[in-house]
Amino acid sequence: MKGWNGKILWIDLNKKETKTVEYPKEWAMEYIGGRGLAIRILWEYNKPGVDPFSPENLLIFAIGPLTGMPIPSSGKLQVASKSPLTGGYGDGNIGTLFSVEMRKSGLDAIVFYGRSEKPVLLNIENDKVSFEDADDLWGMDSWKTEEKLRKRFGRFSGIVEIGPGGENLVRFATVMSQEGRSGGRPGIGAVMGSKKIKAVVIKGTKGYDLFDEKNFKIEGAKALKEVRERPGYNFWMREGTMATIDWAQEASVLPTYNFSEGVFDEYKGIDGYTMESLKVDQRGCPGCNMQCGNVITDSEGNKSELDYENVAILGSNIGINRLQDVAVLNTLADKYGIDTISLGGVLGWGTEASQKGLLEGIDGRKLEWGDLKLYRDLVSEIAFRKTELGNLLAEGTMHACNKIGGCDFAVNAKGLEASAYDCHTAPGMALAFSTSPIGAHHKDAWVISWEVQNDRFSYSREKAAKVIELQRIRGGMFESITTCRLPWVEIGLNLDHYPLLLSYATGLKYTWDVIYEIADRIYALIRAFWIREFNTWNRSYDMPPEKWFKKPLTKGPLAGGKLSYEGYNQLLDHYYDLRGWDKNGVPTKETLKKLNLEFTIPTLEKIVKLN
Ligand code: PTT
Ligand code: SF4
């Protein structure tokens, strides 16, 4: 096989044994890599109903045929597992040198199973693994851990680690790298912690084998040059994703006070221009020529790498109006290795719960919007599961509200807290959150920028089709080729480079029809995985948070705006119909057969009625 490495490294943490195994060629062709390969492995080998924290739950690192190549922004790694936050499929995409070294190691995926008795550091050279005692690293934050490992293994080694959040099984702990790269929002870092893996180091020496290296390099160089020449490049280099704060405020979608409003009176204190005035550094993923990690010094003197999502959710969403203060919480989340988006979601939910009296009897403190000191304390309490409240919030909003009430203002879909877009007046984005394969993350379909310009308030078939188109490109193609999507999303790199690059790399003919079919296959298989895990499956799993239907906006130009149940159900019907799924969001037999997923039918038939 050209383009792929064709091998999976299996690491048994119980026995401290490993094996490197070739996987079926058809998997590479039918799922490409990254997310596609991860879900195929999980379907085949994960035991249905397994507890996400049990040794049997598989943890997967995967790359695709374009990862680590001389093309735009290709240093990305997919981390996936059954999620402890949602109970369904979970993954994340992290920019790290680990992906580049993994590419050179001759592997397409690493699967970790079992549980080490003691904290362990895995040191991988190509596919040779040594298991080292990590007692001295356990308890250390992610920055110190990486600093220590980099001193020992050198700056060009690939390193990923967890912080205390992952060690203490915070349900939204992530996998961390390079002081500010974080991946696996649905608790993939906690799965790593449950296996007692503190860090993994990798070094590869094998290079890569492409079908048509000459044309691949020419096409890659063209794309790299195009990135730098795009009209939006200079502004992107100034503000990166932070420009979205002003846009979100203007569009009334900036999450404010636990997604109660779409505008924040003090947004100027946290916007992209403020960031520019405070910027001290810029960094990003390996080999990227449009680096978007904008660094400022936080109020406590730490360097903090900011993105729109982090700033909106830890800023306006909890009433903090000063960027350096937002950065304090962001820094802590990075050091502790917990997801900023879910963190902002639980702090927002906790504040509303406190104000409604739901925390009485749990915690004597009263949470107020914008109380940096209290939020700062709570972040540590969550990461170390220290107090009763910290322990409750470490469960995420879905588990927490099931314990004490307040599910009517818990802003999550399938248990994953929503990224930073208020959807009272954005039905298409609500659909994107609710049908995303991992819960309410924007990565699969950031339809909101299209939606605010195109028939914003409608629940039309065209809108459902747009969500699917974006899911195919973003959640299907980019998550599987496993490169960064921002060159296309943010500065308009021509998408047609990607089918060509895939064809030159592998020797197979990739057209958009082929890529869309693969994307649909991956989506349907992830859906089948969810159904296998939830025998109560029905369309209510694809509903957005109640708050967006029941509590209208009270401020800004769209005051009074809210979602309509009737409209949303119509939109969801269009979505299901276009995907070839039934009224409960279950792929029909015909769809499964068309996508070469017949092997899921016997399992699904035991759980739901297949049409
Ligand atoms: C991603 C999610 C995002 S999406 C952000 S900000 W964004 C948050 N960043 C966090 C952080 O930082 N620290 C922390 N402790 N938790 C964080 N949680 C949040 O995680 C990220 C970039 C960004 S910045 C985006 S949009 C794009 N996302 C991509 C994607 O999903 N797929 C893809 N093929 N390319 C992408 N490119 C961009 O990558 P998750 P990263 Mg991330 C401080 O991991 O789980 O997918 O959640 O990977 O290396 O940090 O790059 O405005
Ligand atoms: Fe990483 Fe940003 Fe570059 Fe994408 S654009 S590869 S997220 S630095």
81 forms beta bridges with 59, 90
Q: Tell me the pLDDT tens digit for each residue of 136-146.
A: 999 999 999 99
| Angle in degrees, CA 480, 411, 192, rounded to 5 | 45
Question: Which residue carries 């149940």 as its tokens?
Answer: 565
- Dist. CA 61–CA 186, nearest whole Å: 15
- Dist. CA 70–CA 504, nearest whole Å: 13
**How are beta strands 279-283 and 293-297 bridged, if at all?**
antiparallel
3-state secondary structure 133-180: ECCCCCCCCHHHHHHHHHHHHCCCCEEEECCHHHHCCCCCECEEECCC
Torsion angle (degrees, nearest 10) of CA 602, 608, 609, 611: -80
| Angle in degrees, CA 584, 590, 591, rounded to 5 | 65
Point out the ligand 2 atom lying closest to the alpha carbon of residue 284: 8
Q: What is the arithmetic mean of pLDDT over 414-421?
A: 98
Question: Residue 290 Cα, ligand 2 centroid: separation in angstroms?
Answer: 7
Per-residue model confidence (pLDDT) at position 247: 98
| Angle in degrees, CA 491, 495, 497, rounded to 5 | 115
Please spell the DSSP secondary structure of 434-463, one letter per residue. Answer: HHSBTBS-SSS--THHHHTTSSTT---HHH
Q: Tell me the pLDDT tens digit for each residue of 187-198.
A: 999 999 999 999
- Dist. CA 322–CA 189, nearest whole Å: 29
Residue 174's nearest CA partner among 266, 84, 49 is: 84
Binding pocket residue ranges, ligand 2, CB within 6 Å: 73, 95, 284-285, 288, 290-293, 484, 486
Q: Tell me the pLDDT tens digit for each residue of 487-509.
A: 999 999 999 999 999 999 999 99
Q: Is 601 exposed, middle or buried (0-12, 13-18, 19+ CB in 10 A)?
A: middle
Which residue has its alpha carbon closest to ligand 1 atom 33?
A: 484
What SS3 class is residue 112?
strand
Per-residue model confidence (pLDDT) at position 275: 98
Point out the ligand 2 atom lying closest to the alpha carbon of residue 283: 8
Which residue has its alpha carbon closest to ligand 2 atom 1?
A: 285
Q: What is the arithmetic mean of pLDDT over 262-275?
A: 98
Token code pair at residue 117? 């008795």
- Dist. CA 573–CA 534, nearest whole Å: 21
Per-residue model confidence (pLDDT) at position 1: 82
Of 63, 67, 73, best ligand 2 pocket probe by most atoms within 8 Å of the beta carbon: 73
Per-residue model confidence (pLDDT) at position 316: 98
Please state, rounded to an integer, the average pLDDT across all residues of the chain. 98
Query: Quick check: 402 pLDDT over 90?
Result: yes
- Dist. CA 144–CA 150, nearest whole Å: 10
Residue 525's nearest CA partner among 533, 113, 85, 578 is: 533
Per-residue model confidence (pLDDT) at position 198: 98
CB atoms closer than 10 angstroms to residue 430: 31
Q: Tell me the pLDDT tens digit for each residue of 348-386.
A: 999 999 999 999 999 999 999 999 999 999 999 999 999
Percent of the chain surpassing pLDDT 70: 100
Confirm if 160 and 177 have CB atoms less than 8 A apart.
yes
Binding pocket residue ranges, ligand 1, CB within 6 Å: 76, 92-95, 174, 180-185, 241, 285, 305, 307-310, 333-334, 338-341, 443, 478-479, 484-486
What SS3 class is residue 283?
strand
Token code pair at residue 289? 């020529």
Phi-psi sector, 405: left (phi>0), alpha (psi -120 to 50), beta: left
Taking the CA of 242 as reference, the closest ligand is 1
- Dist. CA 253–CA 265, nearest whole Å: 13
Q: Is 603 exposed, middle or buried (0-12, 13-18, 19+ CB in 10 A)?
A: middle
Of 63, 98, 182, best ligand 1 pocket probe by most atoms within 8 Å of the beta carbon: 182
Per-residue model confidence (pLDDT) at position 207: 87
Q: What is the arithmetic mean of pLDDT over 449-468?
A: 97
Residue 189's nearest CA partner among 177, 201, 176 is: 176
- Dist. CA 529–CA 537, nearest whole Å: 11
Point out the ligand 2 atom lying closest to the alpha carbon of residue 485: 4
Chain centre distance of CA 598: 29
Tell me the H-state helices in 459-496.
461-470, 479-481, 486-491
Taking the CA of 442 as reference, the closest ligand is 1
| Angle in degrees, CA 411, 412, 414, rounded to 5 | 155
Q: What is the arithmetic mean of pLDDT over 222-240?
A: 97
175 forms beta bridges with 183
CB within 8 Å of 99: residues ≥ 6 apart: 63, 67, 68, 74, 75, 76, 77, 158, 286, 482
**Per-residue pLDDT band at 340 (split at 50, 70, 90):** very high
Please spell the DSSP secondary structure of 288-318, one letter per residue. Answer: -SS--EEEEE-TTS-EEEE-HHHHHHHTGGG
Q: Looking at residue 417, what DSSP letter applies?
A: E
Confirm if 123 and 129 have CB atoms less than 8 A apart.
yes
Q: What is the arithmetic mean of pLDDT over 144-166?
A: 97
